[in-house]
Amino acid sequence: MDFQTFRQFVADEAAALRIEAYELYYELFESTSASAFRHEINEFSSSSEGGVCLRCLVNGKMGYASTQLLSEESARALVRRAADNAATLENDQPEYLAEGGQNYQDVTTNDAPRPTADALRRAALAGQDALYAQAGVVDGSETQIFSERICIAICNSKGLDLRYENSFDGAALAAVVSDGTEGGEKANEYKISLGELDKLDLGADAAEAADGARAALGAGVPPTGAMPVVFSPKAMSQLLGTYAGVFSAENVQKGLSLLKDKEGETIAAPIVTLVDDPFYAKSAMPMPFDAEGSPTFRKNVIENGVLNTLLYNLRTAAAAGKATTGNAAKENYDAQVEIQPFTMYLASGELTQEQLLEKAGNGVLIDFLGGLHAGANTISGDFSLQSAGFLIENGKKTAPVRSFTVAGNFFSLLKGIAAVGNDPKTPTSESPTAFVSPSVLVEGLSIAGK
Amino acid sequence: MISKEICERVLQKAASTGADYAEIFAENTLNHTVNLVGGKVDSVHDAQIAGAAVRVFLGLRSVMATTVDTTEAGLLRCAQRAAEALAEGKAEVSVTLRERLSGDIHPILVAPTSVSNADKAALLKEACAAASGYDAAIVQVTGALLDVDHRILVATSEGLWTQDRQIRTRMMVNAVAEVNGETQTGGCRPGARRGMELFETVDPREVGLHAARQAVTMAGAGYCPAGVMPVAIGNGFGGVIFHEACGHSLEASSVAYGNSQFCGKLGQKIAHEKVTAIDDGTIPNDWGSINIDDEGTPARRNVLIENGVLKSYMIDKFNGRRMGMAPTGNARRQSFSFVPTSRMTNTFIAPGNDKNEDIISSIEYGLYAKEMGGGSVNPVTGEFNFAVNEGYLIRNGKVCEPVRGASLVGKGSEVIQKIDMVGSDLLCGQGMCGSSSGSIPTNVGQPLIRVSSITVGGR
């Protein structure tokens, strides 16, 4: 059964139950990938997955239910389940559905035909050749080439009827390098690129992954103590992604973010400007509307150190007496509407990474953070995270280091940003949410090493 | 779900280009969660996951195709896609399926799908109210009661047709405390492969109180000092140390590709002789237990390490081919849309003979990690990390003041040689483990152990 037929059964059942306000969110995700190992294709997958989520308003409460089964029976059951769930809810905040007939910015999407299975396999094998051409690369180095197509449709009882389709390809190259001795040390690094298959530069990606892995060989452990830290673009965007939830008005209103009553106040160093941009030029998924169907727009979340705005959806904006910022998001079609940025980026400064290292003097350059889901407390802001990177000695990047931790607090870190670099990397997120940052110098974080 | 006759035709189509193995995995799952914020029901998540995956192997090549269209025509199209992507040959294959009743060693007394939202909310409110009322320092409490009813079917070209129904229930309470302007959190998340009878043995109020007590303790704590020191790690979720430091590196998904520090080490001593570690999917009603894995292999008890000697890896069918080893009942996937691979079930360090008081008193200066949080590992290098949710300093063999913000980092192959004292109070804790085949329920566990030295992250 197609979505349009299913939609009619839902409308019939909603009418029968006298439910007047509801929304259907449909998502179809098609993904094909080929993986290669030791110059042979070892795995291939072709998946087609998606489903429908119904949200309906019953006595002012928004009930949810979702299904992957598109049939008359499941359509009717979906309405009854969502209505039953609505009856359980006790949240007092009024709920809203987006109005139809709003204006949306045009975005560039890709509707070119997807590459053939054969093209994906050839590229995966080419990726293997590119990896093995690099010095030190050994077995275990895997290549995956993928192609994704996504379709999102949102319609509601207020006349909203939106559709979004986009597709992109990508490559993930994982380099494992050895120090060349029998049973010796190994290190690994990966590189993900998104874009049209024929425009991917597998040679450059392989070199970057292998160079990164080789640079980590022979890593030592840094000394323990408080010292300046330069976060690489990768590490800083990991940290931003972990703490983005603090800017969610929903978390603030639920007492789960320390940014309550902080709009208009200074929360970061004056050199910090943090932007949320649904139309970020290098995003694989520019979005004209959010998960509730509201139009999206670019905004400064932090402007010169001042918290300009939190991120809102319809409900939290109404509760705060504001307009939505178009940041409603769903982790998956079946998920609750939450709040997320689109491409959130720290605006670049003037300095190169080398200049940041010079300013740091002696400290560490952190290029990787691990265990962010566990070692970072998104409520208190405290973090203590596994790290890897390089020593900074006399203003220069020197020996590789790993098996140490960096500890601090995200809110203090925002205020302690001493310099911002000019070297942001292209985002590699396959969803509308992505995080981008240049290198950043932060004074006085705690390093636990030897 | 899908009849044997349809499965036979779909498997024949899947193998029609020369596959030497074909498999159908179908599921119909109900995921249900009631969420509470500030004492009120804030949301209900109610999702039906339904679809199928067809997988075919030819030698060391695997292809999977998935579909949400589980009509015969939809499944045949899915099988055709898999067959075409695997090879260009032509083969006439005849598949005759016979049903295997795998049995159920995890009885469910009250299926959660038969219990109303209101009854679930009432249990959760009891837990959250206990947390809120614990101390004036508690400023927010959130809770969730989740249940999963996961019906699976596995049919293979080897003639197997079998089904399983996996029901799990879990309560999660998080408390936020503020003491002198410092905010900290505490949590408690018990779960089991049980129905609503879980709450005959788990008192919701105790769940709330546990979370609240931890939040208040940590909010009043100073920062953990940084450095290398001995650490005593508590039982229950403390077992995450073995899960991250060693468990993932024993999964065939790493070992088959040479991407594990434990490749080629079967029969060798890799850990301290006090360490015996087991992965056991057969423990009745435990969180990570299964009757069959997601390739249809019956669950097993696998001794991974015995007195420090590596005895077994955890192996799925596909990676087992490359390793030349049989599957061990560890193939798992979050849902039909993930390619299954070798994963843990209930993984724990077996009880030893050391007394808890001796373990603590042996440490002159170090950390007592009473409760652990999550972590992660890079199997290639063995470098791991995990968070300490509730920690205390040990001075002169005595547990002293609480410390916050600690994490532990190290290298798996080194740390398991430094587990030099093992207590006897084995307990498991529940977690969700994320990897290439998605997020799956796994138990971690251990008695109190001592790690003679490890890097403690703090400040």
Nearest to B420 by CA among B452, B447, B448: B452
Amino acid identity of A172? A
Count how many domains chain A has. 2
Q: Are A43 and A117 in contact (CB under 8 A)?
A: no
Q: Mutation test of the interface with chain A: which of B1, B43, B124, choosing the one with the most A Cβ atoms within 10 A?
A: B43
Q: Looking at the structure, tell me whether residues A156 and A183 fall in a common domain.
A: yes
Helices B204-219 and B117-132: crossing angle in degrees, nearest 10, is 40
DSSP β-bridge partners for residue B242:
none
SS3 A61: strand
> Residue A94: how many CB atoms within 10 A of its CB?
13
Which residues is B186 bridged to in the sheet? B175
Hey, is B81 helix, strand or coil?
Answer: helix
Beta bridge partners of residue B432, listed in sequence order: B441
What span, in angstroms and rounded, lies between the C-alpha atoms of B370 and B392?
Answer: 7
* CA neighbor of B56 nearest in space, from B28, B87, B77: B87
Give me the percent of chain B exceeding a pLDDT of 90. 93
Find the helix or strand (DSSP H, E) in which A299 lies. strand A299-303
What are the respective helix, strand and coil percentages of chain A, to the nearest 5?
25, 40, 35
pLDDT for the residue numbered B458: 86
User: How far apart are the CA of A290 and the nearest CA of chain B, in angstroms?
Assistant: 20
CB-based contact B68 A176, cutoff 8 Å = no
The one-letter amino acid code at B259 reads: N
Q: Is A117 in the B-facing interface, judged by CB distances under 8 Å?
A: yes
Cross-chain CB nearest to A403 (options B42, B142, B411): B411
Q: Which residues in chain B are closer than 8 Å to A65, comparing Cβ atoms?
A: 46-47
Q: End of a domain among A170, A198, A216?
A: A216
Residues of B in contact with A176 (CB under 8 A): 258-259, 380
Non-local (6+) Cβ contacts of B200 within 8 A are: none
Which residue in chain B has the smallest CA separation from A369? B385
**Tokens (6 digits) for B49:** 């996951």
Closest chain B residue to A185 measured between Cα atoms? B381
Q: What is the dihedral of CA A413, A415, A421, A426, to 10 degrees?
A: 60
- Chain B residues within an 8 Å CB radius of A66: 46-48
| A232 and A146 in a common domain | no
> Of A370-379, B281-290, B444-453, where does mean pLDDT reach its minimum?
A370-379
Question: Which among B43, B384, B409 is the nearest to A336, CB-wise?
Answer: B43
A426 and A284 share one domain: yes
pLDDT of residue B125: 98
ipTM of the complex: 0.91
Residue B243 near residue B233, CB atoms below 8 Å: no
**Is residue A272 located within the same domain as residue A417?**
yes
A74 interfaces chain B, CB cutoff of 8 Å: yes
Closest CA to A425 of A212, A271, A245: A212
Looking at the fold, whether A229 and A189 belong to one and the same domain comes out as no
- Across the interface, do A448 and B81 touch by the CB < 8 Å criterion? no
Asked if the C-beta of A214 comes within 8 angstroms of chain B's C-beta atoms, the answer is: no
Find tokens 């970057």 and name the residue. A208
Q: How many CA atoms lie within 13 A of B155 on its CB side?
A: 27
User: Domain containing A17 — which CATH number?
Assistant: 3.30.2290.10
A64: contact with B, CB 8 A cutoff: yes
Q: What is the mean predicted confidence (pLDDT) over B396-401?
A: 97
Give the model's pLDDT for residue B106.
95
Contact A39, B56 (CB under 8 A): no
Torsion of CA A261, A262, A264, A266, to 10 degrees: 160
- What is the crossing angle of helices A72-88 and A3-16, to 10°? 50
Mean pLDDT confidence for B376-383 = 89
Provide mean pLDDT across the span B358-368. 98
Closest CA to B429 of B190, B169, B129, B224: B190
- Side-chain-side CA neighbours of A81 within 13 Å: the count stands at 23
Rounded to an integer, what distance in angstroms lies between the CA atom of residue B324 and that of residue A420?
Answer: 52
The reply to whether residue B383 touches residue A88, judged by beta carbons under 8 angstroms, is: no
Confidence of residue B126 (pLDDT cuts 50, 70, 90): very high
Cα gap A252→B229, rounded to integer Å: 38
Query: A278: exposed, middle or buried (C-beta count within 10 Å: 0-12, 13-18, 19+)?
Result: buried
Q: How far is CA B405 from the centre of its chain?
A: 24
Q: Would you call B45 and A117 a contact, using CB atoms and an 8 Å cutoff? A: no
Alpha-carbon gap, residue B446 to B424, rounded angstroms: 9
Name residues of chain A where pLDDT drops below 70.
Answer: none
User: Tokens in use for B323?
Assistant: 């390793």
The tokens for A300 are: 């400064």
Full domain range(s) for residue A259: 225-448
The shortest C-alpha distance from A140 to chain B (Å) reads 5
Strand partners, B46: B32
- Provide, as residue numbers in chain A, all residues whose Cβ is less than 8 Å from the Cβ of B323: none
Judged by CB atoms closer than 8 Å, whether chains meet at B67 and A48 is answered as yes
Window A:295-314, CB contacts with B under 8 Å: none
Can you tell me the distance from the alpha carbon of A137 to that of A141, in angstroms, rounded to the nearest whole number? 7
Which residues in chain A have their CB less than 8 angstroms from residue B85's CB?
44, 46, 117
Nearest-angstrom CA–CA distance, A337 and A91: 14
Asked whether residue A152 falls in the same domain as residue A170, the answer is yes
Kindly determine whether residue A385 and residue B258, on different chains, have CB atoms separated by under 8 Å. no
- A to B CB pairs, distance under 8 Å: 245
pLDDT band at B379 (very low <50, low <70, confident <90, very high): confident
Of the pLDDT bands very low, low, confident and very high (cuts 50, 70, 90), residue B435 is very high
Among B139, B182, B458, select the one facing A255 at the smallest CB separation. B139
Give A16-59 pLDDT, tens digit per residue.
999 989 999 999 999 999 999 999 999 999 998 899 999 999 99
- How far apart (Å, rounded) are the C-alpha atoms in residues B161 and B23? 10
C-beta of residue B266 within 8 angstroms of C-beta of residue B310: yes
Determine the pLDDT at residue B62: 97
Tokens of B22: 């074909």
For CA atoms B325, B327, B330, B336, the dihedral sign is: positive
**CA-closest candidate to residue A415, choices A447, A368, A381, A388:** A381
A171 and A274 belong to one structural domain: no
Q: What pLDDT score does A316 carry?
A: 97
B309 has pLDDT over 90: yes
Q: Is residue A243 domain-shared with residue A388, that is, in the same domain?
A: yes
pLDDT in tens, A182-228: 778 999 999 999 999 999 999 999 999 999 999 999 999 999 999 99
Q: What percent of chain B has pLDDT over 70?
A: 100
> Could you read off the pLDDT of B77-98 as tens digits, one per residue?
999 999 999 988 899 889 999 9
Out of A156, A189, A216, pick the residue that ends a domain: A216
Chain B residue with the nearest C-alpha to that of A89 = B41
Smallest Cα–Cα separation from A426: which of A282, A236, A237, A276?
A282
What is this structure's pTM?
0.94
What number of other Cβ atoms are within 10 A of residue B268's Cβ?
10
**A308 in the same domain as A176:** no
Mean pLDDT, range B44-61, rounded to an integer: 97
| Interatomic CA distance for residues A376 and B457, integer angstroms | 12
Closest by Cα among B353, B259, B22 to B155:
B22
Let me know whether A250 and A203 are in one domain. Answer: no
**What is the β-pairing status of strands B346-349 and B438-446?**
parallel
Domains belonging to chain B, first-starting first, are: 112-150+166-221 (3.30.2290.10), 227-457 (no CATH)
If asked whether residues A267 and A384 sit together in one domain, one would say yes
If residue B353 lies in a helix (H) or strand (E), which one and from where to where? none
Q: Which of A33, A39, A46 to mutate to test the interface with B (most CBs of B within 10 A)?
A: A46
Q: For residue B22, which amino acid is it?
A: A
Q: What is the DSSP letter of B37?
A: E
**Same domain as A151, residue A238:** no
Closest CA relative to residue B239, chosen from B391, B449, B454, B453: B449
Last residue of a domain, one of A175, A195, A216: A216
Nearest CA to B58 out of A43, A122, A123 is that of A43
CB contact under 8 A, A45 and B63: yes
Q: Do B61 and A42 make contact, defined as CB atoms within 8 angstroms?
A: yes
Assess A386–B contact: CB distance below 8 Å, yes or no: yes
Buried b (16+ CB within 10 A) or exposed e, A231-259: bbbbbbbbbbbbbbbbbbbbbbbbbbbbb
